[in-house]
Amino acid sequence: QVQLVQSGAEVKKPGASVKVSCKASGYTFTTYYVHWVRQAPGQGLEWMGIINPGGGSISYAQKLQGRVTMTTDTSTRTVYMELNSLRSEDTAVYYCARGSGPIPSKWYFFDSWGQGTLVTVSS
């Protein structure tokens, strides 16, 4: 079955960077886009960006442009999301999610989600 397993919780100081991993299994890794979505405490869902795990196409939410970087490692079937210049408002649970449509169908609903990674930004 499709599984996305994320790295553990992180505590970071303002101005630092965090890198969250998402390891995929149960399907052909390079066939489906992976998205990142975050959720601040008690708040709704915010889309952060999309990556083609096989390389090539990456798009980021305009709000995060310049601070977020998404990468992939096909040898370990893992995608990464790195967020720089952290501030308190970046405190959130970060999710990876699989887009259900096969590449090159970019915009699709999310049929599988990782368990979430809590990133806390605090001095």
Under the criterion CB under 8 A, does residue 38 sit at the interface with other proteins?
Answer: no
Q: Binders of other proteins among 51-110, rule CB under 8 A?
A: 59, 61-62, 95, 97, 100, 107-110
**Nearest approach, Cβ of 89 to other proteins (angstroms)?**
17
Nearest Cα to 117, choosing from 16, 15, 18? Answer: 18
Q: Which residues contact 19 (CB under 8 A, 6 or more apart)?
A: 80, 81, 82
Q: Least distance from C-beta 117 to other proteins, angstroms? A: 11
Task: Identify which of 24, 45, 41, 42 has the alpha carbon closest to the alpha carbon of residue 33.
Answer: 24
Task: Name every residue whose Cβ is closer than 8 Å to that of residue 28 and which is 6 or more positions away in sequence.
Answer: none
Residue 29 Cβ, how far from other proteins at the closest point, in Å?
A: 19
In angstroms, rounded to a whole number, what is the distance separating the alpha carbons of residues 89 and 108? 28
Among 7, 69, 71, 113, binds other proteins (CB under 8 A): 113
Residues that bind other proteins (CB under 8 A): 35, 44-47, 50, 59, 61-62, 95, 97, 100, 107-111, 113-116
